[in-house]
Amino acid sequence: MTAGHKITIEQGTDLVRVVRDGQVVAESRRPLLLRETGFPVRYYLPPEDVRTDLLTPLDTTTYCPFKGTASYWSLPGGKDGEDTAWGYPEPKDAVAQIKDHFCFYEVEVEAEAA
């Protein structure tokens, strides 16, 4: 990590849900919460909790010097080629926990009642 840049990952227990056009695309009580300097909290969901049959892989990739190369997916109902989800098939060692997890731009989070 560079000076002033930090990434932490913790296991969450809140219900995280992704809904597109009334259809539940993902639902998990096992999200990984990734906090990165300068970005909002991102929820990485295990593949077992994602309707991967609804995801269409895109040719798009981006590179993050802290996490590695990201792959992208689209969902039905989005604009053609619009990326809706991303993940890191081969993340850097510092964030190895997010390997093969999916992160979505729009999620609903329901916190557990204390």
Find, among 91, 88, 90, 86, the residue nearest to 105 by Cα: 86
Question: CATH number of the domain that 57 lies in?
Answer: 2.170.150.40
Phi, psi dihedrals of residue 97, rounded to the nearest 5°? -60, -25
Tokens of 21: 């056009």
Find, among 6, 18, 15, 8, the residue nearest to 105 by Cα: 18
- Over the stretch 4-60, which tens digit does the pLDDT of each residue have? 899 999 999 999 999 888 889 999 999 999 999 999 999 999 999 999 999 999 999
Tokens of 14: 């809140």
Q: Say which residues have a Cβ less than 8 Å from residue 114's Cβ, sequence separation at least 6.
A: none
Does pLDDT of 110 surpass 80?
Answer: no
Decide if 65 is inside a domain.
yes
Find, among 114, 111, 113, the residue nearest to 31 by Cα: 111
* Cα angle 77-108-94, degrees, rounded to a multiple of 5: 100
* Residue range of the domain that includes 53: 7-110
Give the pLDDT score at 78. Answer: 59
Total structural domains within the chain: 1
Find, among 7, 6, 4, the residue nearest to 97 by Cα: 7
How far apart are the C-alpha atoms of 14 and 26, rounded to whole Å? 13
Give the pLDDT score at 20. Answer: 84
